[in-house]
Amino acid sequence: MTATVIKNVKIFDGSGEAPFPGSVRIEANRIVAVDRGEKSPASGDARVIDGEGGTLMPGMVDAHAHLALGTSVETLTKKPGNHPAETLALIEAHCGRVMLDHGFTSAYSGGSGSVEAEVAVKEAFDAGWLPGPRLVTSSFERMPGGPVGLVFKFPGYETRKSHPEGIGAFVEEMADKGAQAVKFLLNGVSAFDPGKNTTEQFYDEEVMAAGEAARRKGVWLTAHCYTPHSIKLAIAAGFRTLYHCNYADEEALDAIEAAKDSIFVGLAPGIEESHVLRAKKFGVMASPEQVEEQDSAIEHIKVTGNELRKRGVRSVIGGDYGFPWNPVGLNARDLELFVDWFGYTPTEALVAATKLGGQIMDMEDELGLIKPGYLADVLVVRGDPAEDIALMTKKENLAVIMKDGRLHKGERLTH
């Protein structure tokens, strides 16, 4: 692979420092030099990309991704379906490419339809056979056994048992199949079953058994959790990633803060907003009771998000994108919502999407920053997103997209 020099750019390096003029040299799949100043270094025989005064930054990371739900901004489905693994692999390949088109070079899966399909697609992305993000793979979203409260009947779901031994066996099975993270819906999903956001779905001993099994197998655990009890239980059991957390009270916030060096919180504002803006036309959140419940969820998530920011908790970008009313391709909307709802500056929102993204991917020493030795996952944005975060929401503003040193977009600017 030839060397590449990207010049005539302002560099946002992901650290939170103000952008500075400079250029970057890439060899193979690594950044080897970051030069400050207007003068470009000698390029030699390297391919040169003229950034035309745009902002060079790390590729973004979606920390709550759903590639298997079936809806992108290019392909609309009425609702997620019960598809065989072969179909799910094709769906994931499509949605992964759409994510990459929108500047997301990495994704932490928030739940798959088939772990076998997701592992196969990850391998294809990593090998460069298919365009798509780096991917942390996940199990499907585990609920208690049986149909009560069941959201999606993914293949094999009905055979799962819901007791401590069965939960531990499930974690081990998912790990053996290649899941890097195993997800549990500790609370329900009111969009499909009104009032269930605050329903506790697992016994405490089951959640603790999941933690014990995860430590034995060396995998991470992810919790869909809204209530104070589920938040505190997930932390006590050793869950690494907590999604939503809307109704965190002072005690739950204290527990999150105490564990902030070992956990990540994915508030997922995108799905909350979409329930209000778009879900009704799909027959979701249509009743007055559901709308009232959703308004309450948004009111609470704004309070929680602001409080977590003040406490220095690692809140990461990712808004449950993939549903028909919240399609893949809108992912960068979360950056705006971090600013509008949670009080982040644009720079802080960008750090959440880059530096913190590298951390949740467990690649903080090589992903999420523009530094020598780091992987060449790079964007060039037309304009300065540290001044106008909305620039990130339109793929037309992405002049260059590079993942692992491979140019996905930007040939026009090369010479």
pLDDT tens-digit readout, 277-322: 888 777 777 778 888 888 999 999 999 999 999 999 999 999 999 9
Predicted confidence (pLDDT) at residue 131 exceeds the cutoff of 90: yes
Share of the chain above pLDDT 90, in %: 77
Domain 4-58+367-413 part of CATH 3.50.50.60: no
pLDDT digits 0-9 by tens, 74-83: 987 656 667 8
What is the β-pairing status of strands 406-409 and 398-403? Answer: antiparallel
Record the tokens describing residue 189, joined without a space.
Answer: 């999903």
At 1 the pLDDT is: 55
pLDDT surpassing 60 at residue 5: yes
In whole numbers, what is the pLDDT of the chain averaged over residues? 92
Q: 368, 54 in Cβ contact below 8 A? A: no
Q: What percent of the chain has pLDDT over 70?
A: 93
Whether the pLDDT of residue 148 is over 50: the answer is no
For the segment 189-203, what is each residue's pLDDT rounded down to a tens digit? 877 777 778 889 899
Domain 60-331: assigned CATH number = 3.20.20.140
**CATH 2.30.40.10 residue spans of the chain:** 4-58+367-413
Report the alpha-carbon angle 398-402-403, nearest 5: 130
CATH 3.20.20.140 domain range(s) in the chain: 60-331
The pLDDT, as a whole number, for residue 146 is 33
Tokens for 154, please give them. 């993914």
pLDDT at 245 over 50: yes
- Residue 145: is its pLDDT beyond 50? yes
- By the 8 A CB rule, do 171 and 211 touch? no
- Of 160, 162, 240, 152, the C-alpha closest to 200 is 162
DSSP letter, residue 193: S
pLDDT at position 189, please? 82
Per-residue pLDDT, averaged over 134-154, amounts to: 69
Q: Smallest Cα–Cα separation from 182: which of 110, 134, 85?
A: 110
pLDDT at 305: 99
pLDDT at position 196, please? 79
